[in-house]
């Protein structure tokens, strides 16, 4: 068991069911010892040296099937992702695979960071997929499916060939081809905090900069990549988002339905003319064109959640939206979602 699992487990034991030895001494009559199976269910982390990695294997071809069925709806057929989620694949080259450093980082010309650009340890990918994906059904994959789907992702990045079988036996060889394997830094004071952490700067005493540019300011190419951030932030209180979607006057001529779909969180899963996780709103209007009862039925579907009408993924109940807004949204959708 790794240190992390041990810590987690002792935290759980302290809260809920103390281990027998300590419990008997410190907390008599409280809880019981965790069973070996309970410990096993918690203890799933995989370390960079592959300690904790369960045996198994999967081919790229099988991975493509798993991917198409369980991942592509959110991450795109080729890992390019839909407009909401960041791409998993792209931005790495043959040369990066040889050197273990992603050239786009060194040159600073990457428009966006993909998973294959970022990740320095293949064990992290295996672990993350195994514990967290698919997003809507985490821990539902078998170990062999995790190997297979990871092989597929690695093949999309040309890290392994199309006829490859990834397994616990050869995953260490794959690590030696990971594009960013030499890109991880430990020189930031957070890794090893003997001595001082990240406080190496010396206060400026003369000719100091009068204007500080934040390292995290929004670069020009990223503006409007995900619509107007200022509008999307309104739900969480004070408006902190920058206007990234053009000037203020243009925003004023937008149809209220468009603003409502964004402010009520529909646009994470629906586009007006394009499907994302859910169908395009214009396709919804087409399907129910001659259906007189559609309005009241769809209001119910949005409020209570619904599934099975468009695909495998269900829509969660949209309880955050008021009745009046749901009705307004459905009327706008059924009228063909005019944008202005």
Quick one: how far is CA 163 from the chain centroid?
A: 28
Structure tokens at 83: 């407009």
Structure tokens at 301: 């579907």
Among 16, 55, 197, 316, binds ligand HEC (CB under 6 A): 316
Is 191 an interacting residue with respect to ligand HEC (CB under 6 A)?
no
Structure tokens at 44: 């799933």
Residue labelled with tokens 């040889």: 98
Choose between 55 and 307: whose C-beta lies nearer to ligand HEC: 307
**Least distance to ligand HEC, CB of residue 336, Å:** 13
Say if residue 40 is exposed, middle or buried (CB neighbours under 10 Å; 0-12, 13-18, 19+). Answer: exposed
Q: Which residue is nearest to ligand HEC (CB)?
A: 278
**Segment interacting with ligand HEC (CB under 6 A) among 23-31, 37-45, 235-243, 310-318:** 310-318
- How far apart CA 170 and CA 148 sit, in angstroms, is 13
Structure tokens at 51: 């300690």
- How far apart CA 333 and CA 285 sit, in angstroms, is 6
Among 59, 92, 115, 180, binds ligand HEC (CB under 6 A): 115
**Least distance to ligand HEC, CB of residue 147, Å:** 11
Residue labelled with tokens 């500080």: 212
Among 16, 111, 273, 311, binds ligand HEC (CB under 6 A): 311
C-alpha atoms less than 13 angstroms from C-alpha of 253 in its C-beta half-sphere: 6
**Segment interacting with ligand HEC (CB under 6 A) among 72-80, 159-167, 168-176, 223-231:** 72-80
**Least distance to ligand HEC, CB of residue 47, Å:** 18
- How far apart CA 312 and CA 37 sit, in angstroms, is 32
Is 120 an interacting residue with respect to ligand HEC (CB under 6 A)?
no
Is 155 an interacting residue with respect to ligand HEC (CB under 6 A)?
no
Is 151 an interacting residue with respect to ligand HEC (CB under 6 A)?
no
Among 62, 181, 262, 301, binds ligand HEC (CB under 6 A): 301
**Least distance to ligand HEC, CB of residue 99, Å:** 21
Range 6-23 burial, b when 16+ CB lie within 10 A, else e = eeebeeebeeebbbeeeb
Terminal-residue alpha carbon distance, the chain: 58
Query: Do the Cβ atoms of 58 and 49 come closer than 8 Å?
Result: no
Is 264 an interacting residue with respect to ligand HEC (CB under 6 A)?
yes
**Least distance to ligand HEC, CB of residue 263, Å:** 9
**Least distance to ligand HEC, CB of residue 66, Å:** 6
How many CB atoms neighbour CB 298 within 10 A? 22
**Segment interacting with ligand HEC (CB under 6 A) among 30-38, 47-55, 98-106, 305-313:** 305-313
**Least distance to ligand HEC, CB of residue 7, Å:** 21
Is 183 an interacting residue with respect to ligand HEC (CB under 6 A)?
no
Choose between 195 and 308: whose C-beta lies nearer to ligand HEC: 308
Query: Do the Cβ atoms of 302 and 264 come closer than 8 Å?
Result: no
Among 54, 85, 93, 110, binds ligand HEC (CB under 6 A): 85
**Least distance to ligand HEC, CB of residue 70, Å:** 4
Any idea how long the chain is?
340
Query: Do the Cβ atoms of 149 and 65 come closer than 8 Å?
Result: no
**Long-range contacts of range 323-326, CB-CB < 8 Å, 24 or more positions apart?**
323/299, 325/260, 325/264, 326/299, 326/302
Choose between 13 and 294: whose C-beta lies nearer to ligand HEC: 294
Contacts to ligand HEC by CB under 6 A: 70-71, 73-75, 85, 88, 115, 118, 125, 128-129, 133-136, 141, 149, 264-266, 268-270, 277-279, 284, 298, 301-302, 306-311, 313-316, 318, 321, 329, 333
């Amino acid at each position: 068991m790794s240190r992390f699992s041990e810590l987690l487990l002792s935290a759980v034991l302290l809260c809920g069911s103390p281990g027998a030895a300590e419990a008997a001494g410190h907390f008599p009559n409280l809880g019981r010892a965790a069973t070996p199976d309970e410990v096993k269910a918690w203890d799933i982390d995989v370390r960079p040296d592959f300690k904790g990695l369960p045996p198994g294997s999967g081919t790229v071809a099988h991975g493509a099937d798993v991917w198409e069925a369980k991942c592509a709806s959110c991450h795109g057929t080729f890992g390019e992702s839909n407009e909401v989620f960041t791409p998993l694949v792209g931005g790495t080259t043959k040369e990066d695979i040889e050197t273990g450093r992603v050239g786009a980082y060194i040159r600073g010309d990457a428009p966006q960071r993909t998973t294959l650009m970022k990740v320095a340890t293949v064990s992290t990918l295996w672990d993350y997929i195994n514990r967290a994906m698919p997003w809507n059904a985490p821990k539902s994959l078998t170990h062999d499916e995790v190997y297979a789907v990871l092989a597929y992702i690695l093949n999309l990045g040309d890290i392994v060939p199309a006829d490859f079988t990834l397994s616990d036996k050869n995953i260490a060889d794959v690590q030696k081809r990971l594009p960013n394997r030499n890109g991880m830094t430990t020189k930031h004071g957070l890794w090893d905090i003997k001595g001082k952490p990240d406080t190496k700067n010396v206060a400026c005493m003369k000719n100091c900069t009068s204007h500080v540019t934040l390292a995290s300011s929004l670069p020009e190419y990223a503006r409007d990549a995900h619509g107007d951030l200022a509008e999307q932030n309104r739900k969480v209180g004070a408006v902190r988002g920058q206007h990234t979607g053009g000037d203020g006057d243009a925003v004023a001529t937008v149809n209220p339905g468009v603003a409502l779909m964004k402010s009520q969180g529909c646009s994470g899963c629906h586009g007006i003319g394009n499907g994302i996780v859910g169908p395009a709103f214009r396709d919804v209007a087409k399907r129910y064109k001659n259906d007189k009862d559609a309005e009241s039925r769809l209001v119910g579907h949005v409020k209570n959640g619904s599934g099975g009408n468009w695909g495998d993924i269900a829509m969660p109940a949209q309880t955050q939206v008021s009745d009046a807004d749901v009705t307004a949204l459905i009327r706008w959708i059924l009228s063909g979602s005019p944008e202005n």
